[in-house]
């Protein structure tokens, strides 16, 4: 009974009519091609992933904890570790406020479902994490875009202006530490103002903080450290231990946990018990502190290598800020360039890839189109030097070609 005709009759949900592929998934595919130097994605350095420590933790867990192989409630020991980690970030909270998720992406997805109604609105920077935008699109919600300064972050004046118009967005979304894609920290002064505005207008903040532990100078506390109830904090082990276990968390007021329970259960029941118990065991060993120092040292060297290479190689008129945290540098080429078109050249002829600015905005401005996000955590220092060199060659020839044709 092979029913060729059936499928024509199958009606899909209406969202499929305006669904678009994700640039990040395409980038993930290209990254795997041999010979390609990738600055595209925010991957941790593969050679720094703690395989030996995970092996010990897996063996211990399998030998000592049968609950780790069964369905179960969230692992209490893991929550206790997360409370300690949060304290390292300056956040006081209790186990009851920790909600475990499959990494930061699911945390965002659940929080958006908790807070946002269909055809509602949210506030976010004009360039923001595409995985966030993708979630919001399902709600046909409006993203009220505010500008972001490439050195100090989100323009809080614009947030206030939006709120003063009398609209009531479901939340404000931001990554104040090691912003994705801008790579920078929200300035201290803007943090205070953002919290004040959030409270004055009773609009909560979703604060994503996957990079907060990857601070290279001094570690700046997240917004959540200053406000208990109106900042929903999202953390993750993906960048600091491994993304392959898919463990992240939310810090929320206790009275909202039962709603998240319902959302999580209907999504996929629970976070893989095995992942939870293995990560908890890994944290028992106290390994994370030294591992973080190691990552901070390695990644800051890579960042410096990329900054030096950019200074040495990139054309006059290009601009970037020095990230104090996270894994990205946001480079703005001279205006009117289009990094999406540049990417086609670099991917095909130079074997080097990056994320074009327009991947981070539903309606990219010319400045955004002229920008690119470069990751420095995943490539080695040699690849960073070689990759920036290849990139600047492509930039140079793109410039020459367009100087002839466009002007």
- 259-298 residues in contact with its own copies (CB under 8 A) are 259, 261-262, 265-275
- Cβ at position 95, least distance to its own copies in Å: 16
Q: How far apart are CA 281 and CA 65, in angstroms?
A: 10
Burial (CB count within 10 angstroms: exposed 0-12, middle 13-18, buried 19+), residue 301? middle
- CB 405, min distance to its own copies, A: 35
Name the minimum Å distance from CB 363 to its own copies: 19
186, 219 Cβ separation under 8 angstroms: no
Q: Please tell me whether residue 377 binds its own copies under the rule CB under 8 A.
A: no
Cα separation of 19 and 10, whole Å?
A: 17
Q: Does 4 bind its own copies (CB under 8 A)?
A: yes
Stated as kind and residue range, the H or E segment containing 77 is helix 76-88
Q: Which is nearer to its own copies, 202 or 407 (CB)?
A: 202
Q: Are 97 and 253 in contact (CB under 8 A)?
A: yes
135 CB-contact burial (10 Å; exposed 0-12 / middle 13-18 / buried 19+): buried
Check: CB of residue 252 under 8 Å from CB of residue 260: yes
E strand segments, 257-327: 319-320
Q: How far is the first Cα of the chain from the last one, in angstroms, to the nearest whole number?
A: 62
List the one residue from 77, 88, 167, 230 that touches its own copies (CB under 8 A).
230
Rounded to 5°, the CA angle 112-113-114 comes to 90
Contacts to its own copies from residues 13-32, by CB under 8 A: 13-16, 19-22, 24-25, 28-29, 32
Among 94, 244, 297, 396, binds its own copies (CB under 8 A): 244
Residue 65 or 392: the one with the smaller Cβ distance to its own copies is: 65
Q: Which CB sits closer to its own copies, 139 or 216?
A: 139
Residue of 37, 43, 83, 93 interacting with its own copies (CB under 8 A): 43
Does position 2 interact with its own copies (CB under 8 A)? The reply is yes
The dihedral of CA 112, 118, 124, 125: what is its sign? positive
Q: CB-wise, 4 or 407, nearer to its own copies?
A: 4
**Distance from C-alpha of 227 to C-alpha of 80, rounded to nearest angstrom:** 21
Nearest to 332 by CA among 313, 316, 352: 316
Cβ proximity to its own copies: between 259 and 287 the closer is 259
In 3D space, the residue among 220, 200, 210 whose CA is nearest the CA of residue 91 turns out to be: 220
Subset of 292-351 contacting its own copies (CB under 8 A): none
Only one of the segments 150-158, 227-235, 313-321, 333-341 lies at the binding site for its own copies (rule: CB under 8 A); that segment is 227-235
Residues 177-216 that bind its own copies (CB under 8 A): 195, 198-199, 202-204
Residue 145 or 203: which CB sits closer to its own copies? 203
Which range touches its own copies (CB under 8 A), out of 4-12, 206-214, 281-289, 298-306?
A: 4-12
Q: Does 131 bind its own copies (CB under 8 A)?
A: yes
Tokens of 231: 């900042």
> Does residue 163 belong to the site contacting its own copies (CB under 8 A)?
no
Q: Report in angstroms how near the CB of residue 207 gets to its own copies at its nearest.
A: 14
> Which residue from 57, 92, 63, 109 is spatially nearest to 78, judged by alpha carbons?
57
Under rule CB under 8 A, residue 221 binds its own copies? no
Q: Which is nearer to its own copies, 296 or 377 (CB)?
A: 377
Compare residues 109 and 358 and give the one whose CB is closer to its own copies. 109
């Amino acid at each position: 009974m092979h029913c060729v005709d059936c499928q024509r009759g199958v009606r899909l949900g209406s969202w499929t009519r305006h669904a678009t592929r994700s640039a990040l998934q395409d980038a993930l595919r290209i990254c795997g091609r041999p010979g390609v130097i990738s600055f595209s994605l925010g991957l941790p350095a593969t050679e720094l992933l703690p395989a030996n420590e995970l092996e010990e933790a897996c063996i211990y867990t399998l030998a000592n904890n049968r609950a780790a192989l069964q369905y179960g409630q969230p692992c209490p020991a893991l929550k206790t570790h997360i409370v300690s980690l949060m304290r390292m970030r300056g956040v006081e909270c209790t186990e009851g406020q920790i909600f475990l998720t499959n990494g930061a992406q699911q945390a965002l997805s659940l929080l958006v479902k908790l807070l946002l109604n269909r055809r509602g609105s949210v506030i976010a920077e004009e360039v923001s994490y595409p995985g966030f935008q993708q979630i919001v699109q399902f709600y046909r919600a409006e993203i009220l875009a505010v500008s972001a300064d490439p050195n100090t972050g989100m323009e809080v004046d614009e947030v206030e202006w939006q709120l003063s118009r009398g609209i009531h967005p479901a939340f404000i979304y931001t990554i104040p530490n090691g912003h994705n894609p801008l790579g920078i920290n929200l300035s201290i002064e803007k943090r205070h103002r953002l919290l004040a505005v959030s409270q004055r207008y009773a609009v909560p903040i979703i604060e994503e903080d996957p990079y907060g532990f990857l601070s290279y100078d001094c570690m700046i506390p997240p917004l959540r450290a200053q406000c208990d109830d109106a900042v929903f904090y999202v953390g993750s082990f993906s960048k600091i231990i491994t993304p392959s276990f898919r463990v992240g968390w939310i810090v929320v007021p206790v009275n909202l946990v039962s709603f998240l329970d319902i959302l999580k259960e209907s999504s996929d029941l629970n976070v893989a018990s095995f992942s939870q118990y293995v990560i908890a065991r890994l944290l028992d060993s106290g390994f994370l502190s030294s591992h973080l120092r190691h990552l901070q040292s390695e990644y800051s060297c890579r960042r410096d290598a990329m900054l030096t290479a950019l200074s040495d190689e990139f054309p006059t008129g290009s601009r970037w800020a020095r990230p104090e945290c996270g894994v990205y540098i946001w480079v703005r080429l001279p205006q009117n360039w289009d990094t999406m078109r540049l990417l086609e050249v670099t991917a095909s002829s130079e074997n080097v890839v990056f994320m074009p600015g327009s991947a981070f905005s539903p309606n990219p401005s010319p400045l955004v189109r002229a920008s690119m996000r470069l990751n420095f955590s995943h490539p080695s220092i040699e690849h960073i030097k070689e990759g920036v060199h290849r990139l600047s060659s492509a930039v140079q020839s793109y410039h020459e070609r367009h100087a002839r044709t466009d002007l």
